Amino acid sequence: MRKIIKFTTDYVGYVVKGGPKFYAWLGFLGIFVLFWMYGNYMQWTEGMIVTGLTDQVSWGLYLANFVFLVGVAAGAVTVVFPAYVYKHKALHEVAVLGEMLAIAAVVMCLLFVFNHMGRPDRVWHMLPYIGIFNWPNSMLTWDVLVLSVYLVLNVVGGFYFLYMKYTDQKLNKLFYMPIIYIAIVWALSIHTVTGFLLNTMPARPLWHTGMMPIRFIITAFAAGPSLIIIVFLTIRKNTKLWIKDEAINMLSQIIVWCLGIALFLTLSEVVTDLYHPTEHSAGLEYLMLGHNGLNRLVPWFWSSLAMMVVAFVMLLFPSVRKNHNKLVVACVLAFVGIWIEKGMGLLIPGSIPSPIGEFTEYYPTLLEIFNSIGNWAIGFIVLTVLLKGAIGILLGDIKYAKE
Amino acid sequence: MTDKKAPKNNPDIEQTSTCDTTEPSEKNKETESVSPSRRGFIKQMGGLSVASLMGTAALLTHSDDAEANTTWAEWFQGNYRLMTDEEKEQAIARLERRYTSEFGKQVTVDGTPAQEGVLFGYALNIQKCIGCRRCVKACVEENNQSRGDKQEIEWIRVLKMEKGEFTIDKMNDGYPGGYGIQVGGNAYSAAGVVLEGEHYYEPKKVPESDSFYFPIACMQCEKPPCVKVCPVRTTYREPDGIVVVDYNWCIGCRMCIGACPYWARRFNWGEPNLSSKDMNPKTHYLGNRPRMKGVVEKCTFCIQRTRKGRYPACVEVCPVGARKFGNLLDPDSEVRRVLARKRMFRLKADANTYPKFFYFID
Strands B357-361 and B343-345: antiparallel
Asked if residue A264 belongs to a domain, the reply is: yes
Count of domains for chain A: 1
Of A242, A241, A179, A250, the residue nearest A221 (C-alpha): A250
Asked if B303 is an interface residue toward chain A (Cβ–Cβ < 8 A), one would say no
Query: What ipTM was reported for this prediction?
Result: 0.94
Residue B251 belongs to some domain of the structure: yes
Asked if B195 is an interface residue toward chain A (Cβ–Cβ < 8 A), one would say yes
Contacts of residue A159, Cβ cutoff 8 Å, sequence gap at least 6: none
- The 3-state DSSP composition of chain A as helix, strand, coil percent (nearest 5) reads 75, 0, 25
Instruction: Tell me how many degrees the CA angle A362-B264-B318 measures, rounded to the nearest 5.
Output: 125
Helix (H) or strand (E) holding A309: helix A298-316
CA atoms of B74 and B291, how far apart (whole Å): 13
Instruction: Output the domain CATH number for residue A320.
Output: 1.20.1630.10
Give how far Cα B276 sits from Cα of A153, A362, B313, Å: 53, 33, 20
* A46 falls within a domain: yes
Report, as ranges of residue numbers, the positions in chain B whose pLDDT lies below 50.
Answer: 1-63, 190-194
d(CA B65, CA A57): 39
Domain at B345, CATH number: 3.30.70.20
| CA of A298 vs chain B CAs: smallest distance (Å) | 19
Q: Residue B282 carries which side chain, given as an amino acid letter?
A: K
Query: Which residues does chain A have within 8 Å of residue B271's beta carbon, measured at their own beta carbons?
Result: 46-47
Q: For B168-181, how does the pLDDT look when each residue is reduced to its tens digit (9 = 90+)?
A: 877 777 666 666 66
> Is residue A400 one of the residues assigned to a domain?
no
Distance from CA of B105 to the nearest CA of A (A): 26
Tens digit of each residue's pLDDT (9 = 90 or more) over A274-307: 999 888 999 999 999 998 888 999 999 999 999 9
Q: What element of type H or E holds A382?
A: helix A366-395
When pLDDT is averaged across residues A100-117 and rounded to a whole number, the result is 97
| Whether the Cβ atoms of residue A353 and residue B194 lie closer than 8 Å to each other | yes
Q: Give me the residue from B190, B262, B296 closest to A355, CB to CB.
A: B262
Nearest Cα residue to A107 out of A155, A166, A170, A157 = A155
Is residue B293 a part of any domain in this protein?
Answer: yes
According to the model, what pLDDT value does residue B170 have? 74
Q: Are β-strands B157-162 and B197-198 bridged in parallel, bridged antiparallel, or unpaired?
A: antiparallel
Does A402 reside within a domain? no
Structural domain that includes position B308:
114-124+218-361
Among B82, B231, B263, select the one facing A138 at the smallest CB separation: B231
The reported pLDDT for the residue numbered A239 is: 93
Cβ contact B79–A132 (<8 Å): yes
In a domain, B297, yes or no: yes
Residue B229's contacts (CB-CB under 8 Å, 6 or more residues apart) are A137, A138, A139, A140, A200, A201, B255, B256, B258, B259
Q: How far is CA A173 from CA A97, A179, B311, in A?
A: 19, 10, 69
Dump pLDDT digits (tens) for A10-27.
Answer: 999 999 999 999 999 999
Angle ∠(A130,B91,B28) on CA atoms, nearest 5: 125
Asked if residue A175 is part of any domain, the answer here is yes
Of the listed ranges A140-144, A153-157, B13-17, the least confidently predicted one is B13-17
Q: For B46-57, give the DSSP string.
A: TTSSHHHHHHHH
Q: Does any domain span residue B144?
A: no
Substitution target from A356, A360, A362, A367 for chain B, most B beta carbons within 10 A: A356
pLDDT given at position B176: 65
Phi and psi at B198, nearest 5°, equal -140, 150
The reply to whether residue A132 touches residue B254, judged by beta carbons under 8 angstroms, is no
pLDDT surpasses 50 at A382: yes
What is the per-residue pLDDT across A327-354, written as a single tens digit (0 to 9) for each?
A: 999 999 999 999 999 988 999 999 999 9
Residue A259 belongs to what domain range?
2-395
Give the separation between CA A292 and CA B294, rounded to whole angstroms: 33
Q: Rounded to whole angstroms, how far apart are CA atoms A19 and A14?
A: 12
**Domain total in chain B:** 1
Give the whole-angstrom CA distance, residue B226 versus residue B247.
15
- The contacts of residue B168 (CB under 8 Å, 6+ apart) are none
Name the A residues in 346-375 with CB < 8 Å from any B CB.
350-351, 353-359
pLDDT of residue B27: 34
